[in-house]
Structure 1
């Protein structure tokens, strides 16, 4: 603090949010004397601190509009999607011949994506945080205004040094409470964003793991006497070509259920065998297919 002719000088001492939603130091007019305790104009200081509280409350009031709008639209569309998707699914079960029943699952998936979008970007939680912070600041402001009126009444026109100290302490408590509230809301936002990122990474990893391709190790029994080059492999209705010997491996199958079938000829007569398997992510499932025995 600088002194000139025994008068107090301006010192920077407060936090505010800029247009980029960051907290930056901003100089406020806080006038102190050489001891740093007794304020030369308590009324102006009280008005300044009160104005900063109103500014903080107005910041939350103005910025809650955008997350409120997105939250209401996203949640509303998600509710409509869930309702419509469920209704389509029910109608499909009533009329199995309808060819549009699968659209219900698509609508449900879109509704789930909307909810995930809201969760990741935090529109609903930001709306709630802003309302909560604004209400708490208004409460602190009302308490300060009532306490300040009482202190002014007790001090009269000429406050004693002891009374000034009490008034200054009340201003300090109020200012610190406002800054604490802003800090708490910012910390909640940081924790929420950090948790959203962690949850997104976890879900992405789980989905990636769940989609790892697997395979099927096929063993053919009773393959003796099969005509050379006639043994062919099928996955569901898709041909995987011919293979030699009595075993082969099918690779790059997405997780799911499959029907594995082998076909060939023995002495010009067709023979075949099939079996069902379920391929898990990143695993190779064994299956043995038994051809009819040679007669």
Structure 2
């Protein structure tokens, strides 16, 4: 994800500066939304593929022993292989957080779209009535300050949503790493043979 360069405001009229900042803030939010939607599509396809493979392998792993028993075959052990592969697909999806990631992408994109829509509505309605003329007319100083605040709120809200999603991803990744390390330690300790006492030798009396 890349951010848009800040616009060059040198020598511009205050109203032009305000419009440039508005376009920059809106573009920043739109680019972020597009990134999350694109990332969601990729992760969703991979997650669904892995879970579909896990279901098919699980079903096949359960059917193979039954077919082997019914036909007096010798391939019953392949059922365990297929079940293990199905479990591996689920473990891959869980460890890399594919399912949870594309769900976070959806939630973040929707929150950004809501913030952008609120900004545009507030921008359009602010300044319709000014203190200067008491009716509909040009944007006055009070409306200008209000629009400056709206730009600041949109930029801040966009950054906060991205930071929150990134924080959730880091927390989940650290948790998955910790689970993997604990499982590796447990597997290693289980594989070690238990120490047995040496046989007692009878001494001559």
> TM-score, normalization: structure 2?
0.82
After superposition, where does 1:98-117 map in structure 2 within 5 Å? Answer: 98-117=73-92
Which residue is 1:122 aligned to? 97
Question: Does the alignment pair 1:67 with 2:47?
Answer: no
Runs of 4+ in 1 over 6 A off after TM superposition: none
In structure 1, C-alpha distance between the alignment counterparts of 2:198 and 2:163, rounded to whole Å = 63
Q: Displacement, 1:158?
A: 3.0
Tell me what 2:147 maps to.
Answer: 167
- In structure 2, how many angstroms separate the alpha carbons of the residues matched to 1:169 and 1:82? 56
Q: Mapping of 1:1-295 within 5 angstroms?
A: 17-18=1-2, 27-29=5-7, 31=9, 41-91=17-67, 95=70, 97-155=72-130, 156-217=136-197
- CA-CA distance at 1:117 after TM superposition: 1.1
1:128 positional shift: 1.5
| Cα drift, residue 218 of structure 1 | 7.7
Q: Retained in 2: the 8 A contact 1:49–1:171?
A: yes
Give, in angstroms, the shift of residue 91 of structure 1: 4.3
Per the TM alignment, residue 107 of structure 1 is displaced from its structure 2 partner at its CA by: 0.8
Larger radius of gyration: 1
1:83 alignment partner, SS class: helix
Q: Deviation at 1:66?
A: 2.4
- Indicate conservation of the 8 Å contact 1:39/1:168, yes or no: no
162-171 vs 142-151, which moves further: 162-171
| Aligned equivalents of 2:98, 2:66: Cα separation in 1 | 32
Structure with more of its chain in helix, by fraction: 2
The structure carrying a bigger strand percent of its residues is 1
| Deviation (angstroms), 1:56 | 0.7
CA shift, 1:207, in A, is 0.8
SS in structure 1 opposite 2:108? helix
The answer for unaligned runs of 5 or more in structure 2 is 131-135
RMSD of the alignment, in Å? 2.8
Secondary structure in 2 matching 1:98: coil
| Cα distance in 2, alignment partners of residues 201 and 39 from structure 1 | 58
1:208 positional shift: 0.8
Moved more, 39-48 or 178-187: 39-48
Total equivalences in the alignment: 195
Where 2:105 maps in the other structure, the secondary structure is helix
CA-CA distance at 1:97 after TM superposition: 4.2
